[in-house]
């Protein structure tokens, strides 16, 4: 499938699946809402196009004062997508148009995948839009952890690392540091598909999107609900300075 917009993807799935309930994670605000928050140009247009389908939007930016106005078939709810305030199996189509990219690298970010799996009914489907092909995961193998610890300590020694710019500042002008960072990424990078599959979100297709507006590739991961593997919580590390900080916190200096 070639590049496809959020609204096009959503409409395609609704036409195919005829869902009763659609859930949007990180739903933001419609263009007519007077707010500085994230503008969502697909939630309300889709709800207007499919009046027989119930649309639920979840966002932790909502307050009683700035709650978006609802249509007869929409409901906006304040909530954290790591702890979604919905019952199990309520959603036929669950999607996230970029919100999880910020949340996955936060504390307990892996719970995003657990919650998506929980609220989606058996046989349900959905998609996630994210600007990466990889997630950064702390390896369980002791030999890899030892190597990782050595690389991170050396990166701190040779690189100018700070929390400037929200904690993601990298010493990109330092060739030694850049090489060390690349070596670290080789150890911790895990394909997005592998992580999602382990949480029972079985990848159907990976589709590029929004190529003109972004320098780095952006992808839509189309998935269906499957069996979730039983495993311990995955330690998602994020990228940049925060990744190095979390590795050092976990493994020690």
pLDDT at 164: 55
Give the tens place of pLDDT for each residue, 187-204: 999 999 999 999 999 999
pLDDT at 133: 84
User: In the chain, which residues have pLDDT < 50?
Assistant: 36, 165-169
Q: What is the C-alpha to C-alpha distance for residues 46 and 185, in angstroms, rounded to an integer?
A: 39
pLDDT at 215: 56
Q: What is the C-alpha to C-alpha distance for residues 117 and 104, in angstroms, rounded to an integer?
A: 15
pLDDT at 231: 63
* Prediction pTM value: 0.86
Which residue stretches of the chain are H helix?
6-17, 43-49, 99-103, 111-119, 142-158, 164-167, 175-188, 192-198, 240-251
Rg (CA), the chain: 20
What domains can you pick out in the chain, each with its CATH number? 6-134+190-231 (3.40.50.150)
Contacts by residues 15-21 (CB-CB < 8 Å, ≥ 24 positions apart): 17/92, 17/93, 17/125, 19/53, 19/92, 19/93, 20/53, 20/54, 20/92, 21/53, 21/54, 21/55, 21/56, 21/90, 21/91, 21/92, 21/93
């Amino acid at each position: 499938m070639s590049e496809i917009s959020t609204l096009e993807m959503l409409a395609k799935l609704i036409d195919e699946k005829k869902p009763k309930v659609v859930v949007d994670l990180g739903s933001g605000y419609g263009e007519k809402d007077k707010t500085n928050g994230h503008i969502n140009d697909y939630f309300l247009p889709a709800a207007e196009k499919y009046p027989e389908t119930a649309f639920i939007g979840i966002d932790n930016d909502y307050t009683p004062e700035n709650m978006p106005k609802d249509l007869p078939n929409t409901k906006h709810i304040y909530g954290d997508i790591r702890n979604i305030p919905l019952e199990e199996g309520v959603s036929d189509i669950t999607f996230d148009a970029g919100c999880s990219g910020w949340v996955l690298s936060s504390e307990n970010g892996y719970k995003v995948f657990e919650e998506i799996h929980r609220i989606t009914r058996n046989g349900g489907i959905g998609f996630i839009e994210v600007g990466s092909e990889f997630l950064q995961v702390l390896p369980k193998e002791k030999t890899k952890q030892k190597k990782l610890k050595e690389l991170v300590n050396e990166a701190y020694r040779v690189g100018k690392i700070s929390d400037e710019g929200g904690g993601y500042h990298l010493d990109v002008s330092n060739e030694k540091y850049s090489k060390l960072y690349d070596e670290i990424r080789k150890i911790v990078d895990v394909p997005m598909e592998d992580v999602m599959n382990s949480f029972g979100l079985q990848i159907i297709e990976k589709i590029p999107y929004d190529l003109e507006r972004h320098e780095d590739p952006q992808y839509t991961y189309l998935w269906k609900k499957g069996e979730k593997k039983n495993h311990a919580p995955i330690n998602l590390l994020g990228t940049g300075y925060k990744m190095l900080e979390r590795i050092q916190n976990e493994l020690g200096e």
